[in-house]
Structure 1
Amino acid sequence: MEEIFPYQALDVDLYELTMAAGYFHHNYNPTVTFELYVRKLPDTRNYLIAAGIEQAVKYINSLRFSSEEVNYIKSLPVMKDVKPEFFEYLQNYKFSGDIFGLKEGELVFAKEPILQIQASLIEAQILETFLLTTINFQTAVASKASRVVQAAQSDGKDRTILEFGSRRAHGPEAGVLAARAAYIAGCAGTSNVLAGYRYGIPLYGTAAHSWTLAFDSELDAFKKYSEVFPNSSIYLIDTFNTLEGAKRAAQTGYKVFGVRIDSGDLELSSKEVRKILDSNGMNDTIIILSGDLNEYKIENLIDKETPVDSFGVGTQLATSEDAPSLSVVYKLVEVEKNNRHLYRAKICPGKIMYPGKKQIYREVKENNFVKDLIVLNGEKGAQGNKLLIQYVKNGEVIYSFPTLDEIRHYVRKNLQKLPDRFLSLDKKADYKVEFSDKLKTLLSDIETNN
């Protein structure tokens, strides 16, 4: 299913439009390069998983200003003195530049470009807000999901994580995109039906406590559910008493695919429920645990040898609760004027950035990532694998996007190459990212001259 971006042209901050109007007024519209990157990793992250790139590229490629949108912008008080020709420009807006970026699912670290936009100044400036929100949110969720999946499989067993966060996400569309990001990072599926429809993500779900409460007894509720879903019933057994719920699950006369426990002492309840199920010949019935879980709680349950086959994780995953936003920025790094490349950099304390359009090389030894080197685009002599690829050329998409399952495989393969110290849930480790001497010299020149 194709994604639709309603009123997409207005999904900007006002200053992008006022700057665009200013550039237009002064007939100043050189070719420039903007780079989108994360300034600093959160304290609880040793790596990030780049996500949302496909949505970003498709947004740029489809971005148009409708007459209704242009008329609204024209009506804003701040625009009353702007030349009429600017609004004609917006009416005819179509991105005609180039887009480079990481592959979706690439492991990324601080200061590494995730996206590069090379286009006319006005075209590139207008894109800022949508790109920041899209990459920020999906990258944050994918990175969180990766940690949760790691925790569930920390003892080597292939337990699954089900993404259950839509109801706590920051809006309906956030729930859909969180499901997408979680899936590419390793979650087995989602409860969000629109995400299943739009992206082909496997769907999972049980029943709520309201199903049980709607009937005269818990046993009756279980039986009626199995009448409709005889081959896939998963009972929520903690409405009244978890252990009694497990016993009633064994009394239905139906094959029970699984039971879910959503409250109480999950470790002790799960161990007792497993005994009840096994004693009734239900050895194949799986146990799903849910209820305000995160990677730390899951790791603790695994360490205590809790019998569990799957975890449903919602709030903490869909909001990336411990790191809900990333320091993602979109910065002008290069201007082309009179056949010259002019390098730009912000040098204020705490926000220093390196100038120039860049490339990233990742060094790999014995199938392990060793370090990344960021160089000025076109520099020779760097060793390793190039990470930035081209998505769009002269306004046309030239890249064939992989399926979500292909991205999942790519993420899994990359995580296997990341040394174990970076996979720790509670110990900070800084992956080595270096800048070339050329970039350091360019930055030093800018600092000297400003």
Structure 2
Amino acid sequence: MNTNLTTFADLYQFTMMYGYYKTGKMDEEVAFDLFFRKNPFHNGYTIAAGLETVIQYIQNLSFTDSDIDYLKSTGLFQDENFFDYLQNLSFTGDLYAMPEGTVVFPNEPLIKVRTRLFEAQFIETALLTQIGHQSLIATKANRMTRVANGKPILEFGARRAQGVESAVLGSRASIIGGCNSTSNVKAGKEYDLMISGTHAHSWIMSFDSELEAFQSYAEAFPDHLILLIDTFDTLKSGMPNAIKVFREVKKQHGELKTYGVRLDSGDLAYLSKKAREMLDEAGFQEAIIVASNDLDEYTIRELESQEAKIDAYGVGTKLITAYDQPALGCVYKLAAEKLNDKWIPKIKRSENPEKITNPGLKKVLRYIDEKNGEALVDLIMLEDEQIPNQPFEVFDPIHTWKRKKVKHCKWIELLQPIFIQGKLVYESPSINEIVENVQRNLSSFSKEHKRFSKPHIYHVDLSQNLWDMKMKLLAELD
């Protein structure tokens, strides 16, 4: 959705910017981190998504005359010179991010921003919205694909999404998470996604009979013939009529290409088994059975455990709305401020230890065992720290007695430069390359970390220097 979203911000972004302008702080250089505190859906990890739309947002930052007129009309901003700064606003700093498709964990900076305070504060809401929403949907989609035993997951959620943009971007995120296609034509056009779909019950009801409806659809789409068979009676009407039409198409065209039936109500396990029997007995072993009807990962897992004869799953509401967890809960926190050419670390304290932020300029390394290729630990370090020689010890930043040795590991740096001094230095990958990145990332994690329920917690630790800095700043606050 390559549009100008400059005014997509909370009012407090504007009031703070005005306050920084009035107090002379607007050009101070700062660093912010964007991260989340807890994996969604009780999952063991999260799939990073949304970076491409963040890039588009930053590239399109520009206040229009009507934007300025509206802000003036609020009466909140009395100094006319403030609007001159807004009209000249652009992103001039550095932005690092974890590429889309990266497997990420709580408290790791998914994005770090280093620029003047005026700009860094302004982009907060847009970054949180785009990264939080798409990462959430990608993770939900990934959970569904993991339990489907390799069967295609088709995203059908546009009509249930909370708005047009959430539908389009949600479709994109679903593909990143592992869905095979989307019914959303706009998303297919915008992001080069595979699209798929059949017909609704209204198609059947608009004809004098179910058979006539099927025959008319077959005449229009003989090579893509998926018939919805539960409008009246799945086994007594829908299946016999579908089989009759398949025979007619085969007789007329000599062969059937993509064809089958869709189930959208009832006991999907039972009906799919009966439908499979009827199709096989009629000689249509290649016909596929697609199931839909408010599916989620739990229902799909149950259907698979019952050996339902389903070849593909159409998912909608439960995916596109992230039904059981509507927000990832990303936060955007000040990590450091530059004073007199020196970076001063900043920390937020809380009664809840998990909400205490990690101060300073940081980088994130992932250590991968050279022998088995499995990720061992992610280490959040100060940006200017030297990579430690192996072996070395890491420890849980909250339960510090939990320790492990890092040895015989290779490492990768997760945060990549996206903008440097306001210039885009990153080439966005294709959607297929992002999907491949997801699979490559997941292959580095053990089955225990990818367990569907109660997964083993992956270690994300702080370097000794970062932990010492954090403890020192907390002590100074007393």
Give TM-score scaled by structure 2 length: 0.91
Q: Which runs of 5+ in 2 are unaligned?
A: 250-255, 389-409
* Equivalent AA in structure 2 for residue 321 of structure 1: Y
Amino acid at match of 2:180: A
How far, CA to CA, are the matches of 1:419 and 1:219 in structure 2? 51
Query: Per the alignment, in what secondary structure is the counterpart of residue 420 of structure 1?
Result: coil
Match of residue 141, structure 2, among 122, 138, 145? 145
Query: What is the 5 A alignment of 1:241-256?
Result: 241-244=233-236, 245-252=238-245, 253-254=248-249, 255=256
Superposition pairs of residues 31-430 of structure 1, within 5 angstroms: 31-42=29-40, 44-79=42-77, 81=78, 83-153=79-149, 158-244=150-236, 245-252=238-245, 253-254=248-249, 255=256, 257-350=259-352, 351-365=355-369, 366-382=372-388, 384-430=411-457
Asked if 2 retains the 8 angstrom alpha-carbon contact of 1:51 and 1:138, the reply is yes
Question: What is the rounded CA distance, in whole Å, between the counterparts of 1:205 and 1:433 in structure 2?
Answer: 41
Q: 1:438 aligns with which of 441, 455, 465?
A: 465
Provide the C-alpha distance between the structure 2 equivalents of 1:66 and 1:302, rounded to a whole number of angstroms: 53
> Using the alignment, how far apart are the partners of 2:159 and 2:40 within structure 1?
25
Is 1:10 aligned to residue 3 of structure 2? no
More displaced stretch, 423-432 vs 97-106:
423-432
Cα distance between partner residues in 1 of 2:228 and 2:112: 47
- Alpha-carbon separation, structure 1, partners of 2:34 and 2:74: 29
**CA deviation vs aligned residue, 1:277-308 (integer Å, no higher than 9, x gap):** 11111111100000011111111111111111
| Mapped contact 2:40–2:136 kept (Cα < 8 A) | no
Deviation for aligned residue 1:71: 1.6
| Rounded Cα–Cα distance in structure 1 between residues aligned with 2:185 and 2:155 | 12
User: What is the SS of the residue equivalent to 1:250?
Assistant: helix
Give 1:43 shift: 5.4
Return the alpha-carbon distance in structure 1 between the equivalents of residues 300 and 140 of structure 2: 13
Contact 1:296/1:425, CA 8 A, preserved across alignment? no
Q: CA RMSD in A?
A: 1.1
Per mean C-alpha deviation after superposition, the further-off stretch among 176-185 and 40-49 is: 40-49
Q: Distance in 2 between matches of 1:427 and 1:400?
A: 37
CA distance in 2, matches of 1:118, 1:206: 48
Query: 2: CA distance between counterparts of 1:349 and 1:62?
Result: 40
Distance apart, 1:111 and its partner CA: 0.1
SS at match of 1:233: strand
Is the CA contact 1:61–1:396 (under 8 Å) kept in the aligned structure 2?
no
Kept after mapping to 2: 8 A contact 1:44/1:323: no
Tell me if structure 2 keeps the 8 A contact 1:43–1:428. no
Give how far 1:139 is off.
Answer: 0.4
Provide the identity percentage.
39
Q: CA deviation at 1:180?
A: 0.1
Runs in 1 of length 4+ with deviation above 6 angstroms? none
Q: Please state how far the C-alpha of 1:422 moved relative to its aligned partner.
A: 2.0
Alpha-carbon distance in structure 2 between the residues aligned to 1:381 and 1:230: 61
Q: Secondary structure of 2:262's match?
A: strand
SS in 2 for 1:417: coil
Say if 1:56 and 1:131, in contact at 8 Å, map to a contact too. yes
2:386 is paired with a residue whose SS is coil
Give distance in 2, aligned partners of 1:261 and 1:143. Answer: 26
SS at 2:76 equivalent: helix
The alignment of Structure 1 onto Structure 2 pairs a total of residues equal to: 441
| DSSP 3-state at the match of 1:51 | coil
> Which residue identity lines up with residue 246 of structure 1 in the other structure?
M
SS across alignment from 1:364: strand
CA contact (8 A) 1:66 1:91 kept: yes
Could you tell me how far apart the structure 2 residues matched to 1:61 and 1:438 are?
36
- Residue 394 of structure 1 and its aligned partner are, at CA, apart by 1.1
